[in-house]
Structure 1
């Protein structure tokens, strides 16, 4: 008997490319039950894209699952584009997708950057949200970005941090995000690719509690690493296009919306204090700290908790 908590793999029953402005064309797919409870899957990064296994968190008999690749990544075009690519462009894209698919209200399911985007959307359009399932909460405050790219995680993974800093001259290592952004947006193509690999590998090495070669290999993929590094550095150098502490200060807008927060105890990318802060500001949420996990949705305890959360939300909203 399989111990895999995910549902069996399924294929989309509909997919399309949706023009959202003069530059960007988004890949959008639907799977599961066309008449089921609508849920939109919000991938991480920003800049990572969706994978086939992301469909498997949801019972296909109960859910109408919408997945889309955000601007600049995955099957959306143009690849790794930073033009007109902000948090609020993505929030507008979600509204465009919802309207295009004829959905009145939906559940938001997002992890890491996907949790950031879910919160930004829910606070802007609370009347469109049935519930939220969030994993690896990322509030995108200066302190949260700084933990992983300035001071914090570097002390726990000092050898990998040295590899991350290696492409940068010593005089630029005080602000790695800005230094990487300059290289990732520069004219030197070989320099861009080398910087993208180093940036993405640092994230992959920190993503799981126990090192997972398959995860690290995934982050090293040139197509993924370029969009992940370019889009992430673009967002982080601009403070995710959010006001200071915006997502916590506006948490009152989530009043009445049920939420389930899943967070790994040993998350090195997004420390668990972010989940605790959100939970304290959002009384309608329930927090589940997975005791033996890091950041990745693919870790067994995180995966099982997310599948259970989707099941619980379906029962609650049925």
Structure 2
């Protein structure tokens, strides 16, 4: 959830036709996902967000929007899931102050409610009646908040790499530290203490934590398409100021505005039959924590990606894509009037 990525990466809404910049749909979205069918700049509270669509809204099955983590992350990690566009429109976007979206830099915008309203503004601008919302990490909290606020527009909600509660997350992270080799665990604790050692001592220990739970060493190398897209991305990637303001300077404790954040109570308000939790086998989102969330959501499902960490979408792309595809197909088939 709350991690710095491993690579650096209001006005009335304009008519959709005026916003869109259309390109040819690639014959194989998985082969060249860098090409979008359309790109949009959509007005939201505080500025405009950048949105891309693979597929055509109104054609195919129910659209899906993918909600990135951070706070301050970008859509980039969802590239492998654009293979889903062979069945349904796939919508990616960067949250305000991240990536390709506007960067007004106003902390007044950095509130969960505004990020949820941002999603609804995107839905209205694109003309989507109902969509699947797939959130990862911090994005899973936004997906749950959205599903609770707009059930009539939510075909399903996927809470992947599940973050819903800061206190649960911090507890889980500290339990995972305990499972690391003794010297690494001791170094991380010292680095989080009142008189931390030098950064040269702390960085390798933090890297060991990430290798275990957030980007395992056996993950696939970036493809040529991914590398080309990063170059095209123009360096407008992760926003550390946003991350630090909302979360804090380190992975292992929260000192920002999300320090008391907890939306697990919303699980009782949503239709559990439309909720799926997805985590990696070695995820920072610990399986026992997510099972507690599952117990609060009658009818919900849980999928665990074998061999995956918090970065399972990039590490096990075929498995992740198959889980999401099967889930949405089943929910679509069960929807009234399908």
CA deviation digits over 1:15-73, x for unaligned, max 9?
1222323x432111111243132111101112110127536354323211111101221
Displacement, 1:264?
Answer: 1.5
Q: How many residues align?
A: 281
1:285 matched to 2:303: no
1:9 matched to 2:25: no
**Contact 2:51–2:94 at 8 Å: present in 1 too?**
yes
Structure 1 partner of 2:241:
230
The 1:142/1:308 distance shift into structure 2, 3 A limit, reads closer
1:29 matched to 2:52: yes
Structure 2 partner of 1:177:
none
1:153 matched to 2:164: no
For 1:1-318, what aligned pairs fall within 5 Å after superposition? 7-10=30-33, 11-21=35-45, 23-34=46-57, 35-36=59-60, 37-51=62-76, 53-54=78-79, 56-78=81-103, 82-148=107-173, 151-157=174-180, 159=184, 162=187, 171=194, 204-205=210-211, 206-210=213-217, 212=219, 227=239, 229-236=240-247, 237-238=255-256, 240=258, 245-247=262-264, 249-255=265-271, 257-267=273-283, 269-301=284-316, 303-318=318-333
The structure with the greater share of residues assigned to helix is 1
Could you say what secondary structure the match of 2:85 adopts?
coil
CA distance in 1, matches of 2:104, 2:205: 17
Could you say what secondary structure the match of 1:48 adopts?
coil
Could you say what secondary structure the match of 2:107 adopts?
coil
Structure 2: gaps (5+ residues): 1-28, 228-233, 248-254, 334-338
Q: TM-score, normalised by structure 1?
A: 0.73
Displacement, 1:289?
Answer: 1.9
Could you say what secondary structure the match of 1:154 adopts?
helix
Structure 1: gaps (5+ residues): 1-5, 174-190
Could you say what secondary structure the match of 1:15 adopts?
strand
Q: TM-score, normalised by structure 2?
A: 0.69
Q: Greater shift after overlay, 38-47 or 10-19?
A: 10-19
Question: How much is the aligned-residue C-alpha RMSD, in angstroms?
Answer: 3.8
CA distance in 1, matches of 2:315, 2:97: 29
The 1:283/1:57 distance shift into structure 2, 3 A limit, reads farther
**Contact 1:8–1:56 at 8 Å: present in 2 too?**
no
CA distance in 2, matches of 1:124, 1:296: 28
